[in-house]
Amino acid sequence: MSFADPQSVTVSGSGVSLPRTSAGVNSSTYTSADGLYVMQVSHSLSKRSRRLIKLSQAKLSADPIVPAQNVRSSMSVSLVVDVPNTGYTVAEEKAVVDALVAYLAASSGAQVTKLLGGEN
């Protein structure tokens, strides 16, 4: 079962459509038309299950050494859920994921700002 096609994310108030560009047995990739945004969803199944969703963004910016030239920079954000194959229900797993996501989103993302600022 795959996520809907296309996926959509909102970055700085602008919607970005991400049509599916590849699909495998336990993975899918969604890419924006300009190739600057990529969402990957994958599942690794072994003694434990690792479920990953990752959003990557690339951009062109002035080269700090040669300002007349642009360089490509990229970043990514991932959420990994690592669970044993038995012992947790999907509802229990979701409750923990929801708690972390809510913590990060609270107070206009204050904890994310602290994280990105290097606090621990």
Residues 27 and 32: their CA atoms lie apart, in Å, by: 17
Give pLDDT tens digits for 12-62: 999 999 999 999 999 999 999 999 999 999 999 999 999 999 999 999 999
Under 8 Å between Cβ of 41 and 3: yes
Residue 96 has which token pair? 């923990």
Q: What are the structural domain ranges in the chain? A: 1-85, 88-120
State the fold for domain 1-85: MS2 Viral Coat Protein (3.30.380)
Which residues have a Cβ under 8 Å from the Cβ of 5 and sit 6 or more positions away?
Answer: 19, 20, 30
Under 8 Å between Cβ of 39 and 18: yes
Alpha carbon 10 to its chain's center: 12
> Is the pTM of the predicted complex or chain greater than 0.75?
yes
